[in-house]
Structure 1
Amino acid sequence: MSATALNPQTPATSAEAILQEVFGYGAFRGQQKAIVDHTLGGGDALVLMPTGGGKSLCYQVPAIARHREGKGVTIVVSPLIALMHDQVGALEEAGVHAAFLNSSHSQEDAQRIEREMMSGRLVMLYAAPERITNLRFQAQLASLHERGLLSLFAIDEAHCVSQWGHDFREDYLQLSMLHERFPDVPRLALTATADDHTRADMIERLKLQDARVFISSFDRPNIRYTLVEKTNPRDQLLRFIRDEHDGDAGVVYCQSRKKVEETADWLAGQGINALPYHAGLDSGLRRKNQDRFLREDGIVMVATIAFGMGIDKPDVRFVAHLDLPKNIEGYYQETGRAGRDGLEADAWLTYGLADVVNQRRMIDESPAGDDFKRIQRGKLDALLALAEAHDCRRVRLLSYFGEDSQPCGNCDNCLKPPITWDATEACRKMLSGIYRFWQHGQQRFGAGHLIDVLRGKRTDKVEQHGHHTLTTFGIGADLSENQWRAVLRQLVALGHVVAEGEFNTLVLADSARAVLKGEVQLILREAADAPKRAKTARTSSSGKAAAGAPKDLVGEALVRFQSLKAWRSEVAREHNLPAYIVFNDATLAEMACIAPQTLGELSGISGVGAKKLEAYGAEILSVLAA
């Protein structure tokens, strides 16, 4: 049945009909159908699905169906104002009555929304966890429940409940009350990332022991993963953006607020349309920068991890990290914000010895208990293993989440296998150097001094401490300083060397003994200044002919795509919405390729629901005809 054939007086309640009528999609993907059916049957569920995998449809479709059956409002727990605003805007554009409640509302507006909720007219209400657990709001929920108008609870970003997760939020801990007070109302907890510890924590803290667990593939095949050794990070980043993503929207993550501002200013000075975002910025400026990122094309947001969760912008073509994340969950969550539309995107990271040392120090110096520190060290070790891997990045990444896969042929290691070398003897020399320092005067020294001794440099400091007399003096003159730094970085990453204290003095770990004895062979990546193989040719995802356009659009299709984007921008401004809420790039690209000539043909395009067909169909056909 076509979208236009549905009778508005008797709205469909089947999941497939709602998917087509409201959202314009002809079929569910992956496990969406099973999740929707389970929820419609009144069952609780825990859903793990990658960013861009369609999590929101898993609760939006049941919410619409249950509302049409007279079961009332769905309450969506959401942690961020930006997410609520965009989700509600998209639903209203699709003809679904939704609203959000947060601190941005006036008292009058909040009361109006509450009246809509209490009447049962709202299909979905988005609210933060602190509002959900508010006593007044709980009383309103109880009233809805008594009248049979409390349909479903959807807990988005559910990993926030876990102390083991990368984004713990204390307010989420109280959400167990939903099960205690409304045991007959189904609950759907959703997240994009969770390892075994986090999954167990979510089940325990949200009382989901009887819930069905749905785990989708974590693979994002449209994302290319590239991790490079840090040499001159700003220049490396600029080269990456200019060569691969000139004119594209992207996110650059930095660890500190100061570095965010400095990097954004520097990129802007280089002609990149870059803006800063971190929690310390004035709230007005922060909101203004976020709005520009969401509503304008080609903005590069330089941010701390305070930015991103719940950002639905689908046409982010790259995510870059100038600092090492804390763990694979955080890395996966952040990189997953690229390419949500399914088109090609890049995840690029540069890291060095200081990143490894800093992350280890933050764990060691945190006030957390020993068990927590032990688990966090294990998570960091897994990320370092990914960073130093010689084999497929995607295989490693998916393996962390318990998923088997084959080499992807698309990450940096698959496209250009790294040059490795047997560094066992070099590692033994470096470990011996550290040991000789301690043996000579029971003192500890940092990386620079150690490398000077190994390379035979008679600096004032070397002579002052008599280290030119050590047997390790000059035994590493055959390697450059960068090569020795690469060896040290990998020894620290592997846990054989520990950098301690304010000055990062080097200490041997227990595992170093086996390396010194020659019982362990160490095959390491060559340093950045070592001879490289010829570069593998690569096509920019953005394309030089038209920034932001899918690379497979050419000729008249490309012209149609650009015309549709211009039309979409005008509509978005009129409606005060981000452009992608009107239609995303993938939908525009399909229109541009197929060039439908009738409303019937246009209704067959993925993402064109009944409401949008009615609102925009004639205009789109006019743009395409022109």
Structure 2
Amino acid sequence: MAYVTMSPGTAVQPSDAAGSTQEVLQRVFGYDAFRAGQREIIEHLVGGGDALVLMPTGGGKSLCYQIPALVRRGTGVVISPLIALMQDQVDALRALGVRAGFLNSTQDSGERRATEGAFLAGELDLLYLAPERLRVEATVRLFDRGEISLFAIDEAHCVAQWGHDFRPDYLLLSMLHERWPAVPRVALTATATPETHREITARLGLAGAHHHVADFDRPNIQYRIVAKKEPKAQLLDLLRTEHTGDAGIVYCLSRASVEKIAEFLVGQGIPALPYHAGLDARVRAENQARFLREDGIVMVATIAFGMGIDKPDVRFVAHLDLPKSVEGYYQETGRAGRDGLPSTAWLAYGLQDVVQQRRLIDSSPGDAAHRRRLGTHLDAMLALCETVECRRVGLLAYFGQRGAPPCGNCDTCLTPPESWDGTVAAQKLLSAVLRLDRERHQRFGAGHIIDILLGRRTPRVEQQQHDGLTVFGVGADLRELEWRGVVRQLLAQGLLAVQGEHGTLALTPSSADVLRGDRAVALRREPERPARSSVRAERGDGAGGGRSSRRAAPVELPASAAPVFEALRAWRGGTAKEQGVPAYVIFHDATLREIAARRPASLADLAAISGVGENKLAKYGQHILDVLGEAGPDPAELR
């Protein structure tokens, strides 16, 4: 949905700048048509209005400020929190023929003066800088002396104080309108609940702006959540059976886990690199550069990695630990499949994850209201994990997008889980917790309580004389793995609580209803094997709009065109290495697939391929035709 709210008396005037938005789209970027909502946003900004844009990753947010910056007079100033990625963002724009630069702490004084001089001379179309730069008075004075076409505030959810990526320096950005009231602003983010949307609006003073809220669906991503058993083996199976040679991201909660998993994957012959805040800054930068610039690298990382990553061919995002919130999970999984091709979002989740997250919340700094807010975020994440309904429907509902039909491309759609009446099992487990607390004044973790229910005379059970409890052995009808699922789901439903630094289990006010028999408990039974059947199916990309306005499906690659595609990738890889830029800066996989499938015979034919703009046609066109010539004629034409 999209809606516009304007302050009384304001009106968006058409621009008199040279070049229409449609002409710029085709000439510079090589696309024939805007995606849903883009034209309205762009025309509004070109006319001098403000905008707030909520679009999923890969939905085309960048064009919403890049095209107005090219059409309006002056330089578009982009506020980005990602200093480490500014060089790649600028390289990508320069490859299109756009005059782009950045100002940040990685430059020496000469580079900084050259960029400032280009800005003042009107020789830059786009200038990137971090929000911290606005604390420097010299930057403010520089902007006073130059001509600014617009301010783009990227990753605008960072302004939300209780969001998952809060950045205090984003609170400075309210000063943009106060100091330069005539310059239009656009704030953009790929993840925002209605609450975060309201906070962005209030903190940046955008109540009178054009608000565009896109469809958050990413139908090319297959969401799968599995019970954690042997996470390293499960991850290895995913990579070997479905994503051999693919680029991907594996998220872990701790730095130690990152190091161990990266080492494990390398030992299994998979090119993997670690990334976390504890690594030397030079090592982090080198690993990030390799991930961006080489094909088939797996990055094992904490959530410190990923925001603003523009790599379009990330084929999977795997989580080996439970994310803290649905917002974080959505943003992290959204880094897969930016090019619209089939991709996987895979999460292994277990009981210990729940215990660990509850413990982190209990020990977190902040007041009781803050801890309640964190608990609410975790509860929503647990509900998504334990649902028997379509994952995508639940995910979209969290962002206020209700009424979506089942997607047919998540694990619960492909292999629907059964639900079973777990009331008796819940009563047994809650009774064990109750008896330990009330009769013995003791509390224990899940493992010990399950040992009691299964009738195991472990040294600890015998030492505590818990084999004398009336609940000892009453749970032999379920396996240990099933009991762990019961505990996990009772925690998710608020019928159990985790307390203390040791993660002991305790009853909640709702537990009494179950124990009295006044409340039935439905539980999810995990399918025997996870669904994986359609992850590589060719699907359309809904990143740019609603279900009725999806981008055209990626061009199907016939078997005969696969060698041509690989030859084009090899040429692209060599060219990218020569220029010191990521391969996707030259061309995206989706563009190379279309070239391989259609075999353009001339520069004019090549110009009709999506993603081949004027500058890239002039720079690379003949090279591509040479590669196609070396590949020989299309076998289909010889038949």
TM-score, L = length of structure 1: 0.93
Cα deviation, residue 554, structure 1: 3.2
Corresponding residue number in structure 1 for 2:232: 234
Which residue of the partner structure matches residue 567 of structure 1? Answer: 571
Output the amino acid matched with 2:95.
Answer: E
Q: Distance in 2 between matches of 1:324 and 1:539?
A: 22
1:463 CA drift (Å)? 3.0
What secondary structure, in the 3-state scheme, does the structure 2 residue paired with 1:507 have? strand
**Shift of the alpha carbon at 1:588?**
0.4
- Displaced runs of 4+ in structure 1, greater than 3 A? 533-542
Instruction: Indicate whether 1:63 and 2:69 are aligned.
Output: yes
Quote the Cα distance in structure 1 between the aligned partners of 2:563 and 2:455. 63
Residue 95 (1) aligns with residue 97 (2): yes
Match of 2:149, SS state, is strand
Q: Deviations over 1:5-28 (max 9, x none)?
A: xxxxx9952100000000000000
1:22 alignment partner AA: V
Matched, 1:255 2:256: no
Q: Please tell me whether the aligned partners of residues 482 and 527 of structure 1 are also in contact (alpha carbons under 8 angstroms).
A: no
2:85–2:308 Cα contact (<8 Å) kept: yes
Q: Does structure 2 retain, via aligned residues, the 8 Å contact 1:260–1:303?
A: yes
Mapped partners of 1:567, 1:467: distance in 2: 69
Structure 1: unaligned runs, 5 residues or longer? 1-9, 543-549
Residue equivalent to 1:377: 375
Specify the code of the residue in structure 2 equivalent to 1:135: E
Give the Cα separation in 1 of the matches to 2:412 and 2:205. Answer: 42
Q: CA deviation at 1:177?
A: 0.6
Could you list the per-position Cα deviations for residues 521-556 of structure 1 after superposition, in whole angstroms to 9, with x for gaps in the alignment?
22212257xxx37967456479xxxxxxx9942333
Residue among 19, 22, 27 paired with 1:13: 19
- Tell me how far 1:371 sits from its aligned partner: 2.3
1:25 aligns with 2:31: yes
2:482 maps to what in 1?
483
- Match of residue 121 from structure 2: 119
- Equivalences, count: 599
Question: What residue identity is the alignment partner of 1:575?
Answer: Q
**Distance verdict in 2 for CA 1:464–1:573, change over 3 Å:** closer
Q: Any unmatched runs of 5+ in structure 2? A: 1-15, 539-553, 631-639
* Counterpart Cα distance in 2 of 1:322 and 1:278: 15
The 10-residue stretch of structure 1 (611-620 or 553-562) with the greater mean CA deviation from structure 2:
553-562
Amino acid at match of 1:39: L
Deviates more, 1:24-33 or 1:207-216: 207-216
- Taking the aligned partners of 2:382 and 2:230, their CA distance within structure 1 comes to 20
* Deviation, structure 1 residue 379: 1.4
Counterpart in the other structure of 2:416: 417
Indicate the residue corresponding to 1:622 in structure 2. 626
Separation (CA, whole Å) in 2 of partners of 1:13 and 1:359:
53
Deviation at 1:430, TM superposition (A): 0.3
Q: State how far apart, in whole Å, the 2-side matches of 1:609 and 1:459 are.
A: 70
User: Which one-letter code corresponds to 2:614 in the other structure?
Assistant: A
Amino acid at match of 1:221: P
Q: 1:392 aligns to what?
A: 390
Match of 1:440 in 2: 439
Residues 403-459 of structure 1: per-residue CA shift (max 9 Å, x gap): 131100000110111132211110011001100111212111121221111112223
* Structure-2 separation of matches of 1:346 and 1:527: 19
Task: Map 1:516-555 onto structure 2 (within 5 A).
Answer: 516-526=515-525, 532=528, 537-538=533-534, 540=536, 552-555=556-559
2:597 to 593, 597, 617: 593
Alignment deviations for residues 161-218 of structure 1 (CA, whole Å, 9 cap, x no partner): 1112110111111111101111111000000001122112111211212112110000
Contact persistence 2:102–2:128 (CA under 8 A): yes
TM-score scaled by length of structure 2: 0.91
> What corresponds to 2:168 in structure 1?
170
Matches of 2:59 and 2:88, distance apart in 1? 17
CA RMSD of aligned residues (A): 1.7
- Greater alpha carbon shift after TM alignment, 216-225 vs 203-212: 203-212
* 2:315 counterpart letter in structure 1: R
Aligned to 1:206: 204
What secondary structure sits across from 1:329 in the alignment?
helix
Equivalent AA in structure 1 for residue 300 of structure 2: V
Report what 2:635 is aligned to: none
Deviation (angstroms), 1:331 = 0.3
SS at match of 1:611: helix
Aligned to 2:514: 515
Q: 1:202 to 1:226 in 2, by over 3 A?
A: same
The range that moved more, 79-88 or 217-226, is 79-88
CA distance in 1, matches of 2:596, 2:343: 20
Q: Alignment partner for residue 110 of structure 1, among 104, 109, 112?
A: 112
Aligned to 2:188: 190
Aligned to 2:491: 492
Aligned partner letter, 1:557: A
Q: Are the aligned partners of 1:159 and 1:202 in contact in 2 as well (CA < 8 Å)?
A: yes
Deviations 1:109-152 (A, max 9, x none): 001101111112111100000112321101111222xxxx1210
Using the alignment, how far apart are the partners of 2:247 and 2:464 within structure 1?
53
1:5 counterpart residue number: none
The CA distance in 2 between the partners of 1:535 and 1:88, in whole Å, is 40
Provide closer, same or farther for how the CA distance between residues 614 and 47 of structure 1 changes in structure 2, counting only shifts above 3 A. same
Corresponding residue for 1:345?
343
Aligned to 2:448: 449
Residue 38 (structure 1) aligned to one of 35, 38, 44: 44
Structure 1 339/217 Cα, relative in aligned 2: closer, same or farther at 3 Å? same
Letter in 1 for 2:229: T
Say whether 1:608 aligns with 2:599: no
In 2, the alpha carbon distance for the partners of 1:27 and 1:379 equals 38
Corresponding residue for residue 429 of structure 1: 428
Structure 2 residue aligned with 1:472: 471
User: Structure 1 residues 137 and 515 mapped into 2: Cα distance closer, same or farther (>3 Å)?
Assistant: same
8 Å CA contact 1:43–1:186 kept in 2: the answer is: yes
Determine if contact 1:39/1:62 at 8 Å carries over to the other structure. yes
Aligned partner (choices 48, 53, 56) of residue 50 of structure 1: 56
After TM superposition, the structure 1 = structure 2 runs for residues 313-324 of structure 1, keeping only pairs within 5 Å, are 313-324=311-322
Give the corresponding residue for 1:142: 144
Q: Deviations over 1:321-361 (max 9, x none)?
A: 00111101100000000000000000000011111111122
Q: Is the 8 A contact 1:390 1:418 kept in 2?
A: yes
1:67-98 superposed Cα distances (whole Å, 9 cap, x missing partner): xxxx2111100111233222211111111100
Matched-pair identity in %: 56
Are residues 437 and 587 of structure 1, via their aligned partners in 2, closer, same or farther at CA, if it must alter by over 3 Å?
same
Q: Which moved more, 1:304-313 or 1:447-456?
A: 447-456
The answer as to 2:584 corresponding to 1:580 is yes
Aligned partner of 1:299: which letter? Answer: I
CA contact (8 A) 2:555 2:594 kept: no
- Relative to structure 2, which stretch is displaced further, 11-20 or 259-268? 11-20
Q: Quote the offset at 1:395 in angstroms.
A: 0.4
In 1, Cα distance between the equivalents of 2:280 and 2:530? 47
Aligned to 2:293: 295
SS state of the match for residue 441, structure 1?
Answer: coil
